[in-house]
Amino acid sequence: MKVLMINGSPRGDGSNTLRALREMETVFVKNGVECEIVTVGDKAIRGCMGCAACHKTGKCAIDDMVNEVAEKFKECDGMVIGSPVYYAAANGTLVSFLDRLFYSSQFDKRFKVGASVAAARRGGLTSTFDQLNKYFTVSGMPLASGTYWNGVHGRRVGEAVEDAEGLQNMRTLAESMTFLMRSIALGKEKYGEFEAEKKIYTDFIKRNKA
Ligand SMILES: Cc1cc2nc3c(=O)[nH]c(=O)nc-3n(C[C@H](O)[C@H](O)[C@H](O)COP(=O)(O)O)c2cc1C
């Protein structure tokens, strides 16, 4: 069982987003779930060019860490995305990364469990949480939940350590995610996966292009 965690903070080891992810990691380790944290927030990652080359190759035409992480994404059973809140939304570098990762990778993501986490001084946690969850829910990925809309509070580096409720939520979220990943693995064995319908792809409702 493997979880891939994406850290969208550029603020290094003490960042509040990373603090939240590390709290989840302690639970994954305890549960015997393999766990890797990949930091993207401090990298120079440009946004999607809309070139559609990936429709043919299944890879992003900009051959950077997006394609490397896509390989890890393919292998994992669950993904956590963590972001600092910038203007009530996710960090721009992270959004560039996620747009390209989810759009270019063509493998089946259904039933990989997703969880989103945000870190903020004060406001915009839930809008960021909603924004990040959209990558999962457009991909057939079920969401794990904690005890609140997943977030930690803190402005300066390291302040999230004082947010006891936020960190408790992270631990519960990791337990819930472990349970869901295990249950899905069992369910696949017992019931098998359903066959996905061929995707209907329309421009508005006027014509079927597929
Ligand atoms: C450009 C920018 C915009 C920000 N916008 C918000 C905001 O909308 N709401 C908020 O509560 N905090 C905001 N903050 C504060 C950060 O969310 C906060 O410092 C958070 O802990 C950063 O997480 P990190 O340590 O993981 O990088 C902003 C910070 C920056 C640099």
- H, E, C per residue of the chain: CEEEEEECCCCHHHCHHHHHHHHHHHHHHHCCCEEEEEECCCCCCCCCCCCCCHHHHCCCCCCCHHHHHHHHHHHCCEEEEEEEEECCEECHHHHHHHHHHHHHCCCCCCCCEEEEEEEECCCCHHHHHHHHHHHHHCCCCCECCCCCCCEEECCCCCHHHHCHHHHHHHHHHHHHHHHHHHHHHHHHHHHCCCCCCCCCCEECCCEECC
Residue nearest to atom 3 of ligand 1 (CA): 86
Tell whether ligand 1 has an atom less than 6 A from the beta carbon of residue 7: no
User: Could you tell me the distance, in angstroms and rounded to a whole number, from the CA of residue 32 to the centre of ligand 1?
Assistant: 33
Identity of residue 116: S
Q: What ranges do the domains of the chain cover?
A: 2-208
Q: What is the pLDDT of residues 102-159, one digit of tens each?
A: 999 999 999 999 999 999 999 999 999 999 999 999 999 999 999 999 999 999 999 9
Average pLDDT over the chain, rounded to an integer: 96
Round to the nearest angstrom and report the end-to-end CA distance of the chain. 35
Tell whether ligand 1 has an atom less than 6 A from the beta carbon of residue 15: yes
Tell whether ligand 1 has an atom less than 6 A from the beta carbon of residue 121: yes
Q: Give the pLDDT band (50/70/90) at residue 196.
A: confident
Q: What is the pLDDT of residues 20-78, one digit of tens each?
A: 999 999 999 999 999 999 999 999 999 999 999 999 999 999 999 999 999 999 999 99
Which residue's structure tokens are 């960090």?
91
* Mean pLDDT, rounded, for 2-19: 97
Which residue's structure tokens are 């946690």?
125
Classified by CATH at the fold level, domain 2-208 comes out as: Rossmann fold (3.40.50)
- Give the chain's length: 210
For the CA of 121, the nearest atom of ligand 1 = 11
- What's the pLDDT score for residue 154? 97
For the CA of 14, the nearest atom of ligand 1 = 25
For 134, left (φ over 0), alpha (ψ -120 to 50), or beta?
alpha
| Distance, CA of 4 to CA of 75 (rounded, Å) | 9
Tokens found for residue 177: 């995610």
- What's the pLDDT score for residue 22? 98
For the CA of 10, the nearest atom of ligand 1 = 27
- What's the pLDDT score for residue 201? 80
Q: How buried is residue 95: exposed, middle or buried, by Cβ count under 10 Å (0-12/13-18/19+)? A: buried
